Amino acid sequence: MSSDKPKADPQYSSSPQEDSYQEFLRDVLCGLSADQKSVPGKYLWDEEGSTIFDRACTSPDYYVARQETALLRLAANEIAGLVGQDAVLVEFGSGASHKVRLLLDALRTCRRYIAVDISKDYLEAATARIAADYPDLDVVPVAGDYSRPLDLPLASEKGPVLGFFPGNAIGNFEASAVVAFLVRVREGMGPSRFLIGVDPNDERESLARAYGGGGSLLGAFHQNLLTRMVRELGAELTPEHFRHEPRVFDDPLHVEAHLVARQASVIRIGQEEFSFASGDSIHTDNSFKYTPDAFRELAIQAGWTPVQCWIDDEKLSSLHLLQTG
């Protein structure tokens, strides 16, 4: 499909923009009221957070992006052969849309790219770049939260549909939530294939280095959440009173991100006040690690059929191709 100009208008949104403030406020107040204070990880992904994370992906210790990109580069042509001609590509959590270019180049005849991301401003900028670089591609941004049901513009599609979920974003979900997410995607995309990046790394030292301490870019990524709370919710707090701390746990193997109070501190939002003793934390995110066998089992529970799995020699990255039926 040809075009006279890049097509990247934000035609679709999963929820009204005017509701975003109330949802953010409600989730923060509820999370900070719990015994273990927390804020849902999806709020890390405003435009500034997305920009910081994109920079963090270049860190030598953050193997996730580097290893997956290398594996995708090796497997892209084989994946394209399994998908077929005139495909529609749906990327969940598209971010800067870097890795998807490897798939677009391999698919060659891809007709439409549907990019789903929670950060509307970052999404529009990234898809505008894709539209400019692939002028024959129909680029459709969908601003939305992929952890909820999405209304995807797929009803009239007749060709093959390929979902794409890179970056071990699936690792943000514990096992039961992985199954629920995979069911939602299967129901939302209909007959399709789904390519998912999964992190199988089980080396604790490697995980601790990758997810970094307070001085890392990932630390800045998590601490940006506090800045966002000040800017958007009018929160009264001192971001410097908190430091980023990754914590590695076994059974199941996962990394938790926490913002830990350096000293006794208070966060005020409107009439609400939340007190922190030194060492108290806000849990901001998870990254679960799944072996190939464990992930295949979850995919089957969700009604998908595993087609193929690619894994790198260092066992730091894997790609799973699933299909419906």
Across 166-189, average pLDDT: 95
Task: Specify the pLDDT at position 325.
Answer: 67
H helix or E strand, kind and range, residue 222: helix 217-233
Give the pLDDT band (50/70/90) at residue 16.
very low
> Which residues lie across from 204 on neighbouring strands?
none
Question: Would you say domain 59-202+291-324 falls under CATH 1.10.1530.10?
Answer: no
Structure tokens at 165: 């979920």
pLDDT in tens, 245-268: 999 999 999 999 999 999 999 999
On average, the pLDDT of the chain sits at 91
- For residue 284, name the pLDDT band (cuts at 50, 70, 90): very high
23 has pLDDT over 70 = yes
| Mean pLDDT of the 115-137 span | 92
**Residue 214, pLDDT score:** 60
Q: Where are the domains of the chain?
A: 17-40+203-288, 59-202+291-324
**Rounded to two decimals, what is the model's pTM?**
0.90
Going from the C-alpha of 196 to that of each of 101, 104, 317, the distances in angstroms are 15, 16, 11
Residues 6+ apart with CB under 8 A from 45: 53, 117, 118, 119, 122
* Token pair in block for residue 56: 């963090």
Percent of all residues in the chain with a pLDDT value above 70, rounded to a whole number: 93
